[in-house]
Structure 1
Amino acid sequence: MQIRICSYLLALFSGLAALSVLAGCKSLPPSKAESEWTPEEAQGAQVFHQACAKCHYPTSTHGLHGPGLQAITKIKAMPSGAPPTDERLTAVILHGHGTMPGTTLDDQQMHDLLAYLHTL
């Protein structure tokens, strides 16, 4: 009887913990509609598809070979734990991080890519 009560309490607390985690989850803001992109954002989307899309989904948090990037500029911290400032994003893109290799982009490509990342 005592084991059954303990099992019941454990299941109850586990359920409450899971519920509190789900209640704390917030949906991410939607991406900007493609029809509303500026020319820089559209160019940045092209840069993304050429240099980043083989490893990252742009409008999902699910990973491909690297993390999904939905709302990457709108969250408090990137998967690495660092804040998603333009400076930090630039450093990660150009120099890599962990298993992500660095990417060679000129200043205009980087500017456009950052503009696009802000639409996600």
Structure 2
Amino acid sequence: MIKKQRTPSTYQRNALAPALIAAAVLFLAPALMGSDWFVIIRFVVAILAAIAAWFAFQARQWWWIPILAAIVVLWNPIFPFPFTGPVWSAAQPTAAVAFLIAGSLIKVRRP
């Protein structure tokens, strides 16, 4: 059997793992809104958005920083905004999709 030589990837997507975790949490978030568990969701989302924004900064993809910074501010657990209703429920999967797109597009060339 002939083994095929695998070509290593020329790019790495550092923001993909935090984005996938945040998206999974955000897709679960509407079910937990109004409970005490939503504070944990706010912490997780805000922290992972800050991490993804840092990776966007390192990759010099500046256009993702305002989007991820807005997620950090809106989901911050320290000074939470009193959002409720269908708009806030729709914001959860919208932010999840933003995370998925950012995680797949933020990449840096491997040395």
TM-score (norm 1): 0.24
Bigger share in helix: 2
**Structure index of larger Rg:** 1
TM-score (norm 2): 0.25
Return the structure number with greater relative CO, CA threshold 8 A, min gap 6: 2
